[in-house]
Structure 1
Amino acid sequence: MTEQTTLIQEATLWSDERWTARVIKNEDDDGWAVSMTRHGDLEPALVGPWTMGRDKKNPKPLDAPAFHTLVKTAAEVLRRHEQQLHAQLNKSVSVGAGSERIRVSLQIVPDEDNPHALLRAHDELGAQLGEVRVAPGFKLNADSAAAWIEGGFQKPR
């Protein structure tokens, strides 16, 4: 930990060098919730219900095991979100071309000013056979990939 990072271990607020857990009043009912925010992020990665204390009025205090479990869960949520985003932006299909298979991939570049996608073809050894810039809404499937290959890797219409 750096000198600027302060370790906080309070009943409703825990923080380490990467994460902050904050117990908050649940706006939907009389219960409590906990939010997990990674340092530098504007929004929490995880918000979930939190256990009531013995008095059934106040929240159960945060402790080390609970904080570590929350960190693990929040990190997993972020990892799954990143995997989903990667899957949305990257697609590929394999097409038989003669005696070999060609892998055609589409990588969407979600640029605010100039969104586009890159269509690429690679042989079985990984050598690039073609690349062209296409609209981000290009529909990649076996038929469109085969047509692009048959068209000599020219920009699809």
Structure 2
Amino acid sequence: MNLNESDMKVQEPRLWSSDGWTARVVKNEDDDGWAVAMTPDGASEPALVGPWTMGRDKKNPKPLDQSAFLTLVKTAREFVRRSEQQLHAALHQSIAVTVGTARVTVCLDITPDEDNPSATLSARDEGDDLLAQVRVPPSFKLSRSSAVAWAEGGFVKPR
């Protein structure tokens, strides 16, 4: 029988691992308190680090338990989901504008890359037909005014 890392459960006072996540209670470097780091299986860095409750002796951390772990997993998953949504929204923007009597949707799609990031500006009509598509710097700022100016200018590559 071959067990995956995510199949193994650890249930210790300062370390719990189950359901694809590991919770590790660590000394808070910023003060005298404690923090809990939530790391998804296979990741080298925690997805979420937050404060952790002191135990009754006001010196040591409160031990992890099933209820706390499940709450931490739920919170970490939600945090990761929101982060992914924000990243997607930043990399894929669109604005619908009216140019003359036509409704045009202008999209900016950024492809992040450490060495060679790129971006594409495109315009589509109400029937979703591609009107224009040009490469722009990934620093291009899509706004209502830049979308209208691009469309009114005949979709010439912005400077």
TM exceeding 0.5 = yes
The 1:67/1:144 distance shift into structure 2, 3 A limit, reads same
5-14 or 82-91, which deviates more: 82-91
Structure 1 residue ranges (4+ consecutive) displaced by more than 3 angstroms after TM superposition: none
Residue 75 of structure 1 aligns with an amino acid whose one-letter code is R
The 1:14/1:90 distance shift into structure 2, 3 A limit, reads same
Matched ranges for 1:61-80 at <5 A: 61-80=63-82
TM-score by length of structure 2 reads 0.87
Q: State the partner residue of 1:4.
A: 4
Displacement, 1:34?
Answer: 0.9
Q: How many percent identity over aligned positions?
A: 63
The 1:112/1:32 distance shift into structure 2, 3 A limit, reads closer
TM-score by length of structure 1 reads 0.88
Q: State the partner residue of 2:124.
A: 122
Gaps of 5+ in 2: none
1:56 pairs with 2:58 = yes
The 1:8/1:128 distance shift into structure 2, 3 A limit, reads same
The 1:98/1:45 distance shift into structure 2, 3 A limit, reads same
Displacement, 1:10?
Answer: 0.9
Displacement, 1:114?
Answer: 1.9
Displacement, 1:104?
Answer: 0.2
Displacement, 1:24?
Answer: 1.1
Residue 92 of structure 2 aligns with an amino acid whose one-letter code is N
Displacement, 1:144?
Answer: 2.5
Q: State the partner residue of 2:42.
A: 40
52-61 or 145-154, which deviates more: 145-154
Q: Aligned residue pairs: how many?
A: 156
Displacement, 1:128?
Answer: 1.8
User: Over aligned residue pairs, what C-alpha RMSD do you find?
Assistant: 1.8
1:110 pairs with 2:112 = yes
Distance 1:11 1:79 in 2: 27
Distance 1:136 1:14 in 2: 41
Displacement, 1:17?
Answer: 4.0
Gaps of 5+ in 1: none
The 1:94/1:60 distance shift into structure 2, 3 A limit, reads same
Distance 2:33 2:140 in 1: 47
Q: State the partner residue of 2:33.
A: 31
Residue 141 of structure 2 aligns with an amino acid whose one-letter code is K
